[in-house]
Amino acid sequence: MDYKSSLIQDGNPMENLEKQLICPICLEMFTKPVVILPCQHNLCRKCANDIFQQAANPYWTGRVGSAAMSGGRFRCPSCRHEVIMDRHGVYGLQRNLLVENIIDIYKQECSSRPLQKGSHPMCKEHEDEKINIYCLTCEVPTCSMCKVFGAHKACEVAPLQSVFQGQKTELSNCISMLVAGNDRVQTIITQLEDSCRVTKENSHQVKEELSQKFDTLYAILDEKKSELLQRITREQEEKLGFLEALIQQYREQLDKSTKLVETAIQSLDEPGGAIFLLVSSPGRGIVEASKGCQLGKIEQGFENMDYFTLDLEHVADTLRTIDFGT
């Protein structure tokens, strides 16, 4: 805590010094012993114990109780830095003797200074009367004259200092509860962030597994497709080979028959019977050829390939029923 620079910035060093010596929990001047946190902020040891108890037990609301003598953690109310304690609890935190000495010097200085005029608020109705009581009915501070003769004559009042201390105590307890509540909210946020991370990781994992299973199905379908296409190709090659061989046989037969016809026509041009009969052997071949060819034939529907048709509707129906858990 840089007290020197803070004091220089203000025209009234004593007032600014007092601001620097206010505990953020009880909102009062530090009560010795003063402990310094690892983040360099200061707390009354009693307030540090209260905030630790509140962080450890959200239902604990008291300002008194056994000191925290076991390890734990809480957050600094000024900067939210997490303070981790050992088994000594708040008694393991280092005392800030410099701040304690400054408090002693400040109190001595204040006690030796006369009360300045205007340092205490005065009543607007009775200008010479200090505001020294609190009207519980109207919930406003006032003076004794207002209670005796003025607007608050019929109201219920209480000493100003007691109401002041009570409300400061209540506010301090609320601050402790809010700080502890913030710790719980931070814990929940951390848990939710962890849940987000785990959800993303799990989603990525199941997506990878699903993709691998479908890739396996694709591979099986591709393999079966290749197998069936090869069977069709083999059948096609066998039939085409048979047809091409048969075509070749018929072509050879056609060539042979054409030559016989040419020979026979030449025989018809012979004028003499003796010569015709001597060369009539081709004619006998034509007669035999004209009786019909004994070459192979194909059956009706030989070129049909319908027996390779697949009915995959039931397989498609099964694939459409694929779902998680089935």
**Are 245 and 284 members of one domain?**
yes
pLDDT of residue 4: 44
Whether residue 5 is predicted with pLDDT greater than 50 in this model: the reply is no
In a domain, 116, yes or no: no
Range of the structural domain that residue 131 is part of: 122-155
In a domain, 202, yes or no: no
**Are 144 and 100 members of one domain?**
no
Distance CA 3, CA 314 (A): 86
In a domain, 263, yes or no: yes
**Are 17 and 107 members of one domain?**
yes
Question: Which CATH number covers residue 136?
Answer: 3.30.160.60
Query: What DSSP element (H or E) covers 3?
Result: helix 3-8
**Are 21 and 107 members of one domain?**
yes
- Count: domains in the chain: 3
In a domain, 226, yes or no: no
Average pLDDT over all residues of the chain: 81
Q: What is the mean pLDDT of residues 90-97?
A: 87
**Are 248 and 275 members of one domain?**
yes
In a domain, 82, yes or no: yes
In a domain, 31, yes or no: yes
**Are 257 and 281 members of one domain?**
yes
In a domain, 98, yes or no: yes
* pLDDT (tens digit per residue) in 24-68: 887 788 888 888 889 999 999 888 888 777 766 655 444 433 333
**Are 89 and 33 members of one domain?**
yes
Whether residue 125 is predicted with pLDDT greater than 90 in this model: the reply is no
Cβ distance 177 to 54 under 8 Å?
yes
- Name which of 256, 77, 271 is nearest 179 in CA terms: 77
Instruction: Write 245-248 long-range contacts (CB < 8 A, 24+).
Output: 246/295, 246/296, 246/297, 246/298
**Are 75 and 21 members of one domain?**
yes
- Name which of 86, 89, 84 is nearest 66 in CA terms: 89
pTM exceeding 0.85: no
Q: What is the mean pLDDT of residues 263-284?
A: 68
Question: Which CATH number covers residue 46?
Answer: 3.30.40.10
In a domain, 233, yes or no: no
